[in-house]
């Protein structure tokens, strides 16, 4: 054991049960110097966690909690009596499944992968509602009054990662953190209101999907003398849920990805047809010298010249032969297809692309955020999640 660690040293602290990756450990004397916590990317895919037996359920959930502390991009929820784990992609969930079994010894498996959709409040003008909450708490009368204004985020407004893409403004006009523990900046009453708002935002009353892209303003609130702060939590939760319920079904957002497919020119037509038939939007078709990261930019790579290189005869490697004018045979030259595509249509793309290209094509993917879907696609999504 040591009293202190110099810069660059690696140490271990035992007994920490409530910390997670991104937290700052400080002494009791000075707790003002804290580093900005990690804001993980929103989950785009989920899968059910199937325990081998009833007795393994609690152990699996404990393993998921421990895993989410070390990897903030992993989170798990319970919906309709089923445990769901949420991640950043199919490969991420495979890593999560492997860590659950190897590191934590959990007896479980992951079910079918499912894309994580979201819901967005569609009203663009402020909808102002208030609620007078008057009920007994622990046998004592409690009274709370709260007024909220809610609308869709404007194009020039940015949601908070802590609020899953939503923006919550306090009575003083300043953004509120998604912190339910009172601090020097957050009073006990505001912490209770924040706790109440988190529930309805995590699950829409219509679809059960998390809500994002919403601007909420806490215009005013009051708590009668002797009433516990929990009354404000109940009032804010009830009011926000009523607003969502009375506003009817809202817009649904679907995760999209940017994809670059490198394919011989002879197979480019099949690749383009497959992408468009599965909801993809073709952006560009170029000679294969551009990386996915340079799409929309100027960072292009130049091709190597054959000068100074040994080029085998055509009868040994026909595909490697370069013509005298420096251009490759058009039937063997690779082309790049750039597109945006729904993530839900790309979960099996590796096997699909191998089939249509004869194993000659490769692809790259990167997240491209969430997009609103049309009414036809909305019905398909509601049927998929069992809410049609």
Which tens digits make up the pLDDT trace of 273-303?
A: 999 999 899 998 887 554 445 444 444 445 5
Rounded to whole angstroms, how far apart are CA atoms 363 and 178?
A: 38
pLDDT at 339 over 90: yes
What number is the average pLDDT over the span 209-222?
92
The dihedral formed by the CA atoms of 46, 50, 54 and 57, expressed in degrees to the nearest 10: -40
Question: What's the whole-number average pLDDT of the chain?
Answer: 82
pLDDT at 317 over 70: no
Rounded to whole angstroms, how far apart are CA atoms 201 and 241?
A: 8
138 burial (CB, 10 Å; 0-12 / 13-18 / 19+) is exposed
pLDDT at 162 over 70: yes
Query: Structure tokens of 260?
Result: 């670059």
Band of pLDDT at residue 321, cut at 50, 70 and 90:
very low
Cβ count within 10 A of residue 63: 22
pLDDT at 191 over 50: yes
Q: What is the pLDDT of residue 259?
A: 92
pLDDT at 138 over 50: yes
Nearest C-alpha neighbor of 159 from the set 191, 118, 196, 193: 118
Distances (CA, A) of 23 to 62, 179, 185, 204, 207: 20, 14, 18, 30, 33
Q: What is the pLDDT of residue 146?
A: 94
Query: Structure tokens of 323?
Result: 């013509």
Angle between helices 188-202 and 230-246 (to 10 degrees): 30
Q: What is the pLDDT of residue 299?
A: 47
Which tens digits make up the pLDDT trace of 7-32?
A: 888 888 887 777 777 777 776 665 56
């Amino acid at each position: 054991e040591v009293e202190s660690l110099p810069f660059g040293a690696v140490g271990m602290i035992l007994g920490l049960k409530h910390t997670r990756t991104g937290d700052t450990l400080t002494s009791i004397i000075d707790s003002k110097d804290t580093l900005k916590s990690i804001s993980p990317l929103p989950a785009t895919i989920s899968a059910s966690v199937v325990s081998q037996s009833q007795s393994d359920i609690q152990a699996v959930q404990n393993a998921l909690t421990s895993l989410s502390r070390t990897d903030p991009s992993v989170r798990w929820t319970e919906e309709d009596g089923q445990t769901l784990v949420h991640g950043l992609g199919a490969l991420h969930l495979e890593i999560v499944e492997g860590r659950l079994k190897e590191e934590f010894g959990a007896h479980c498996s992951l079910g079918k992968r499912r894309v994580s959709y979201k819901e967005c409040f569609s009203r663009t003008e402020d909808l102002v509602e208030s609620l007078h909450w008057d009920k007994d708490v622990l046998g004592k009368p409690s009274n709370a009054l709260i007024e909220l204004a809610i609308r869709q985020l404007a194009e020039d407004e940015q949601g908070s990662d802590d609020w899953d893409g939503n923006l919550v403004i306090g009575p003083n006009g300043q953004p509120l953190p998604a912190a339910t523990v009172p601090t020097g900046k957050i009073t006990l009453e505001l912490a209770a209101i924040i706790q109440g708002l988190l529930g309805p935002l995590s699950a829409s009353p219509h679809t059960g999907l998390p809500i994002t892209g919403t601007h909420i303003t806490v215009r005013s609130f009051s708590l009668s003398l002797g009433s516990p702060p929990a009354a404000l939590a109940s009032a804010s939760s009830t009011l926000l849920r009523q607003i969502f319920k009375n506003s009817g079904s809202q817009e649904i957002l679907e995760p999209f990805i940017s994809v670059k497919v490198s394919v011989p020119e002879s197979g480019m037509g099949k690749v383009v047809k497959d992408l468009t038939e599965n909801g993809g939007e073709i952006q560009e078709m170029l000679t294969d010298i551009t990386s996915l990261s340079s799409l929309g930019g100027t960072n292009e790579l130049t091709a190597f010249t054959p000068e100074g290189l040994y080029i085998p005869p055509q009868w040994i490697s026909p595909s490697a032969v370069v013509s005298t004018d420096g251009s490759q045979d058009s039937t063997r030259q690779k082309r790049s297809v750039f597109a945006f595509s729904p993530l839900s249509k790309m979960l099996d793309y590796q096997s699909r692309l191998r089939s249509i290209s004869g194993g000659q094509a490769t692809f790259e993917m990167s997240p491209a955020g969430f997009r609103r879907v049309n009414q036809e696609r909305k019905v398909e999504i509601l049927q998929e999640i069992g809410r049609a």
